[in-house]
Amino acid sequence: MAPDDLERFEPQLDDLALDDRPGPLQLEGRVRVDEDRAGVVAGLDPVLVEVLGELVGVREAEPSEQPAGTLFTELDPEPPVVACHRPAKYLRVEMPNAEWKRPSPRLRHARHLEAGVATVLAAVLLGGALALSSLSEGAIAAACALGAGVVLDVLLQRRVGAWGYLEREDDLLIRRGLLVRRLSVVPYGRMQFIDVTAGPVERSFKLATVRLHTAAAATDARIPGLAVDEAARLRDRLAELGEANAAGL
């Protein structure tokens, strides 16, 4: 700023209104400065603002050379990718689409016979024992025994329907259970020996039970009610597959 300009604006500096009343901000108790500093500076003459800027250091904010967001771009060129939260997908284990083999239909007849014999024995024993003291009590006991025998026969038939086995390439699946469904997977290479048994009732109906014995006793499994020919075929096949898989280990 030239000295002539300072002399030319000396009267304008003297014409500044002084206000002794208390204000938001005061300079030495005389000059009132509003809180809106930018508005006050904008209302003054540009040349006077420049003079005051040199005297008291009032300067306008210099515009930034870099556009907004340039600094963040330099610090992090690639913004983070926020993955969308989606419901988790659970892996489903699907059974092979094949037909399960079931025990022989003669097993149902065997279970009928077992339930009938048990029911008759219970009715005779309970009814006969209570009939010695009272005929009515004996009749009631025999009726209860017959009802229990019917329920037992229904449960046995449903258990027979729950049995099934499926021969796969590397293992044997066995499912069973009425209230609690169970599925056993027996690898061929884990089988130690296969046993075929037949009780008196099974022999009368030409049936047999195939028992699979593994290294762990808890994993032993059985398939009841197989025809004698089917039991022999399954025994030979499992023994052959067991030897082949055990040799490949």
Q: Which CATH number fits domain 164-248: 1.10.287, 2.30.29, 3.30.70, 1.10.1740?
A: 2.30.29
Tokens 């490949």, residue located = 248
The full set of domain ranges for the chain reads 3-56, 106-161, 164-248
Does residue 41 register a pLDDT over 70?
no
81 versus 200: the higher-pLDDT residue is 200
List the single range of 17-31, 42-56, 75-89, 121-135 with lowest mean pLDDT: 17-31
In tens, the pLDDT along 58-98 reads 455 555 555 555 554 555 555 555 555 555 443 344 455 45
Do the beta carbons of residue 192 and residue 215 sit within 8 Å? yes
How large a percentage of the chain has pLDDT more than 70? Answer: 59
Band (pLDDT 50/70/90 cuts) for residue 199 is very high
Q: Residue 235 has what pLDDT?
A: 92
Q: What is the mean pLDDT of residues 15-34?
A: 47
- 131 beta partners: none
**What is the pLDDT of the chain when averaged over all its residues?**
75
The angle formed by the CA atoms of residues 16, 21 and 23, to the nearest 5 degrees, is: 90
**Is 0.75 topped by the overall pTM?**
no
CB distance 208 to 231 below 8 Å: yes
